[in-house]
């Protein structure tokens, strides 16, 4: 029992010395996976911009606001990327940003949280739940989460017979104080 208590104290010790609850993005990866014609297509968005106010001991007081540029989509195939920027997909000229704004953050475990967000894409805003982990280690501090969404809820890609409706989005953000 003593060993458990010591481990628990050591796990939370770094959080006790958080002077500022504002985090700056150091590195980020916003990726997605979707089936198209039976093949999994991987893609990413770059240039994440974020305002992160988060204290892991008081997550309910935190807020996260983030966005990526829709034009930054990269699936590894330039022709496909250019097609995805068109109006029937992301309409990147008319709607240049894909954004998230937290409405509520709650603790679910020692390093796990549920973030309730408003996700806006192509001018459509929907509520999404993003489970995430927050880890503060000696060499890095990181937010990491993933969630599923239906592309058709945002008018992306129309009624494609070959493309799946649901996709998985993963977000990893290394931060610094």
Show me where the domains of the chain are located: 20-176
Distance CA 14, CA 12 (A): 6
Residue-level pLDDT at 20: 58
Residue-level pLDDT at 2: 54
CATH architecture classification, 20-176: Beta Barrel (2.40)
∠ CA(84), CA(31), CA(165), 5° rounding?
55
HEC string of the chain equals: CHHHHHHHHHHHHHHHCCCCCEEEEEEEEEEEEEEECCEEEEEEECCCEEEEECCCCCHHHCEEEEEEEHHHCECCCHHHHHHHCCCCCCCCCCCCEEEEEEEEEEECCCCEEEEEEEEEECCEEEEEEEEEEEEECCCCEEEEEEEEEEHHHHCCCCCCCCECCEEEEEEEEEEEC
**With contact defined as beta carbons under 8 Å apart, do 38 and 163 qualify?**
no
pLDDT means over runs of 10, the chain (177 residues)? 48 48 96 96 97 97 98 97 97 98 98 98 98 94 98 93 95 96
Residue-level pLDDT at 158: 87
Residue-level pLDDT at 107: 98
Residue-level pLDDT at 55: 97
């Amino acid at each position: 029992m003593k060993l458990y208590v010591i481990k628990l104290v050591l796990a939370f010790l770094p959080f006790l010395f958080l002077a500022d609850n504002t985090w700056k993005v150091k590195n980020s990866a916003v990726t997605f996976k979707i089936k198209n014609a039976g093949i999994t297509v991987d893609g990413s968005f770059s240039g994440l911009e974020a305002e992160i106010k988060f204290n892991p001991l008081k997550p309910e007081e935190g807020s996260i606001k983030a966005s990526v540029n829709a034009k930054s989509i990269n699936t590894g195939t330039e022709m496909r990327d250019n097609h995805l920027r068109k109006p029937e997909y992301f309409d990147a000229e008319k709607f240049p940003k894909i954004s998230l704004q937290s409405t509520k953050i709650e603790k679910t475990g020692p390093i796990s949280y549920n973030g309730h967000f408003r996700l806006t894409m192509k001018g459509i805003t929907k509520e999404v739940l993003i489970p995430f982990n927050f880890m503060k280690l000696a060499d890095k501090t990181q937010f990491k989460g993933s969630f599923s969404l239906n592309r058709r809820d945002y008018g992306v890609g129309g009624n494609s017979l070959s493309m799946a409706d649901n996709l998985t989005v993963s977000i990893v953000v290394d931060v610094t104080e």
